[in-house]
């Protein structure tokens, strides 16, 4: 394994770090409230960072999402790259790739992900139309996934091999970045993937989450969906999403810890910096090790995908570290700020909110660990 970034990956990471650092400031984040920063999103797309993901792979995307996480930038970067660019590039038909990828790359097409959670309940069904191009995906085992609060959508289709479109009915209570989306990638109760135009949904209502992710409640009532991918597409999308959002969590934790280090070095108690105290050093060291564990497991899963190796269990491992260790790190970051950490307006509190939101979005550590354990017990774990 070699996680050393290529020249292209390093250049994209450095450019992302500069743009996020310059534009995702405390003042701009405060002005954005719970919405997205349209100006920052436009700048990222104009710089070619979204389109670059097609060339730098999932490992490159993880590097970019680390930089987003460090500044908790409020843009639909992760969702549009995972559920849009990478999903269409890997599983779309030639026509879908030609039609959708240029818009995703320049930011005029934003794709959100409505992926079922382990406790999801099917709502209703309708007929599907079979034409061409895409197949259905199936998956055994638990249905836990990023977006675990989500509901699922049922679609009853004729027994055809390659359904191209169908009518979807159901409600997904929480879809992150739905308010920014032009399209939504939906997984039905058979774990097939469908692209839905957000404007054609029966209803889309704003929902406020722990983190400011411009989320919404998606209602579909016989809404047309365009099939994406064949058997196995759902599995790959799920593992890709887990890996990418683990990388985002690594950045959130790194940003929280960097703020804590800066605060404890500047703040003095009894004539000595707080950072000189052994208790502070131990907490910071534990947080650093947790952050590195999230980072290296996300790198490994991403590298394996880019190399064409099995990576589902590695993605689960990264998700577990991001969930379990991530919430420890953001708690530590807030704790080391003392009373200032309790201030809801303090920048470190934003990292705390993102860290807790990502913990929930990845399925929570216990659920992820259960799924990983079942794969190992059934002899399905990769080596």
Sort strands 215-228 and 268-269 into parallel, antiparallel or unpaired: unpaired
If you average pLDDT over residues 23-33, what whole number do you get?
Answer: 92
**Cα(260)–Cα(257) distance, rounded to whole angstroms?**
5
Q: Count CB-CB contacts under 10 A for residue 305.
A: 23
Reduced 3-state DSSP string for the chain:
CCCCCCHHHHHHHHHHHHHHHHHCCHHHHHHHCCCCCHHHHHHHHHCCHHHHHHHHHHHHHHHHHHHHHHHCCCCCHHHHHHHHHHHHHHHCCHHHHHHHHHHHHHCCCCEEEECCCCCCCCCCCCCEEECCCCCCCCCCCCCCCCCCCCCCEECCCCCCCCEEEEEEEEEEEEECCHHHCCEEEEEECCCCEEEEEHHHCCEEEEECCCCCCCEEEEEEEEEEEEEECCCCHHHHHHHHHHHHHHHHHHHHHHHHHHHHHHHHHHCEECCEEHHHCHHHHHHHHHHHHHHHHHHHHHHHHHHHHHCCCCCHHHHHHHHHHHHHHHHHHHHHHHHCCHHHHHCCCCHHHHHHHHHHHHHHHCCCHHHHHHHHHHHHHCCCCCC
Judge if pTM exceeds 0.85: yes
Reported as a single tens digit per residue, the pLDDT across 60-94 is 999 999 999 999 999 999 999 999 999 999 999 99
Question: Residue 290 above 60 pLDDT?
Answer: yes
Strand partners, 221: 169
Which residues lie across from 219 on neighbouring strands?
A: 171, 203
List residues bridging with 126 in a β-sheet.
none
Q: For residues 142 and 117, what is the distance between their CA atoms, to the nearest angstrom?
A: 9
Nearest-angstrom CA–CA distance, 236 and 239: 5
What value does the mean pLDDT take over residues 270-278? 82
pLDDT at position 269 is 79
Averaged pLDDT for residues 34-51: 96
pLDDT digits (tens, 9 = 90+) for 101-144: 999 999 999 999 988 544 334 333 354 454 433 333 333 333 33
Among residues 51, 64, 53, the alpha carbon closest in space to that of 19 is found at 64
Q: How far apart are CA 78 and CA 99, in angstroms?
A: 21
Q: What is the share, in percent, of the chain residues with pLDDT greater than 70?
A: 87
How far apart CA 267 and CA 265 sit, in angstroms, is 6
pLDDT tens-digit readout, 234-243: 999 999 999 9
Distance CA 123, CA 154 (A): 6
- What integer pLDDT is reported at residue 278 of this predicted model? 87
**Cα-flanking dihedrals φ and ψ of residue 152, to 5°?**
-120, 165
CA 53-56-61 angle, to 5 degrees, is 55
What band does 314 get if pLDDT is binned at 50, 70 and 90?
very high
């Amino acid at each position: 394994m070699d996680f050393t970034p290529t020249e292209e990956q390093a250049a994209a990471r450095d450019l992302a770090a500069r743009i996020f650092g310059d534009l995702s400031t405390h003042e701009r984040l405060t002005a954005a409230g719970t919405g997205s920063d349209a100006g920052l999103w436009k700048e990222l797309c104009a710089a070619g960072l979204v389109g670059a993901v097609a060339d730098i792979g999932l490992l490159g995307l993880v590097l970019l999402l680390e930089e987003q996480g460090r500044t908790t930038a409020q843009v639909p970067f992760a969702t549009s790259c995972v559920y849009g660019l990478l999903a269409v590039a890997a599983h779309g038909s030639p026509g879908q790739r030609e039609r959708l990828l240029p818009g995703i790359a320049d930011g005029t097409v934003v794709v959100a992900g409505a992926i079922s959670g382990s406790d999801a309940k099917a709502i209703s069904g309708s007929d599907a139309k079979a034409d061409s191009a895409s197949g259905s995906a199936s998956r055994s085992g638990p249905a836990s996934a990023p977006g675990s609060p989500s509901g699922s959508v049922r679609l009853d289709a004729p027994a055809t091999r390659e359904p191209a479109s169908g009518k979807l009915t159901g409600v997904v209570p929480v879809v992150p970045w739905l308010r920014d989306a032009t399209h939504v990638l939906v997984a039905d109760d058979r774990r097939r993937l469908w692209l839905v135009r957000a404007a054609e949904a029966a209803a889309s209502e704003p929902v406020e989450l722990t983190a400011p992710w411009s989320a919404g409640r998606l209602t579909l009532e016989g809404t047309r969906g365009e099939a994406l991918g064949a058997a196995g597409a759902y599995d790959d999308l799920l593992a890709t999403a887990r890996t990418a959002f683990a990388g985002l969590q690594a950045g959130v934790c790194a940003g929280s810890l960097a703020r804590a280090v800066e605060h404890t070095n500047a703040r003095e108690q009894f004539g000595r910096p707080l950072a000189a105290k052994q208790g502070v050093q131990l907490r910071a060291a534990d947080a650093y090790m947790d952050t590195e564990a999230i980072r290296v497991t996300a790198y490994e899963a991403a590298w394996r995908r880019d190399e064409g190796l099995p990576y589902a269990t590695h993605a689960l491992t990264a998700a577990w570290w991001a969930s379990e260790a991530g919430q420890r790190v953001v708690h530590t970051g807030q704790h080391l700020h003392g009373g200032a950490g309790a201030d809801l307006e303090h920048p470190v509190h934003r990292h705390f909110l993102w860290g807790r939101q990502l913990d929930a979005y990845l399925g929570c550590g216990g659920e992820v660990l259960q799924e990983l354990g079942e794969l190992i017990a059934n002899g399905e774990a990769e080596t």
